[in-house]
Amino acid sequence: MMTERAAEILEASIQGFIQSGEPISSGWLFDHCEFGIKPAMIRLELDALEEEGFLEQPHHSAGRVPTDMGYEFFAKRSLDNASGARSRTARGISERQALPDLLHDLSAELGILSIAMDFARDEIYKTGLDELIDHFDWEDRAAIRSVIRDFEGVDERLPRAAERMGDGTQVFIGKKSPVTRSDDLSVVCGNYKVGGAAVSIFAIGPKRMDYRKVIRIFKNL
């Protein structure tokens, strides 16, 4: 059972990495957070979190980065702590004609690929591939190709994935996503009623996306 202090250290480590893109060290956490313990104790907590599979240490760096398990922990904490009441009706998009504008705004603000599935019309709207690529931390061309393949194949996977989704906002990390295959992506999604029709909305971005912001937006749609 993870202690609350360990959970707070893990959450702060992942949020720090999301914001900076740099591995997070015990010294960084001591300087930027108030845990009430010395750097040596923070280091022990980080060692334990790494051993449990939430963090990893790349290239013998002094800092650590999240694993998929760490991102899943962070996404769950973000879902549990997100403010705003969950509504089945997407506020501000009472008409389905407004869906493309909503998706464009999401992509522009968050640097993600935005997709909507309108079941009544059997239509799929998607935008933001350029924004996703521009905001991604690309390490090799293979990662770019995997994201483009996902974009090309998402129409085929989307209807079945949307039908299997439960209520509320959900987050999928890496290959656990029902709509993407790339290990470099995460997906935030939700089902809504727009103009009386069922609509599923998906935000697809890098694993280092701003989960807190995306989840807050989805919970207040």
pLDDT one-digit tens code per residue, 98-112: 888 889 988 988 889
Is residue 60 over pLDDT 80? no
Q: Which CATH class is domain 4-66?
A: mainly alpha
152: Cα within 13 Å, side-chain hemisphere = 6
Average pLDDT over residues 44-54: 97
Average pLDDT over residues 34-39: 93
**Which pLDDT score is estimated for 87?**
45
**Confidence at 97, pLDDT banded by 50, 70, 90:** low
Portions of the chain given CATH number 1.10.10.10 = 4-66
**Confidence at 59, pLDDT banded by 50, 70, 90:** confident
100: exposed, middle or buried (C-beta count within 10 Å: 0-12, 13-18, 19+)? middle
Which two structure tokens, joined as six digits, stand for 144?
């770019």
**Which pLDDT score is estimated for 89?**
43
Cα(167)–Cα(151) distance, integer angstroms: 25
Portions of the chain given CATH number 3.30.450.40 = 96-219
Q: C-alpha 191: how far from its chain's center?
A: 16
Cα(87)–Cα(140) distance, integer angstroms: 40
Q: Give the pLDDT confidence of 70-83 residue by residue, as tens digits.
A: 999 999 999 998 86
**Which pLDDT score is estimated for 84?**
54
Average pLDDT over residues 135-140: 65
Q: What fold does the segment set 96-219 form as a domain? A: Beta-Lactamase (3.30.450)
**Which pLDDT score is estimated for 86?**
45
Cα(195)–Cα(192) distance, integer angstroms: 10
**Confidence at 187, pLDDT banded by 50, 70, 90:** very high
What is the percentage of the chain residues whose pLDDT exceeds 70? 90
Task: Of 94, 96, 132, give the one whose Cα is nearest residue 214.
Answer: 132
Higher pLDDT, 9 or 165: 9
Mean of the per-residue pLDDT values for the chain? 87
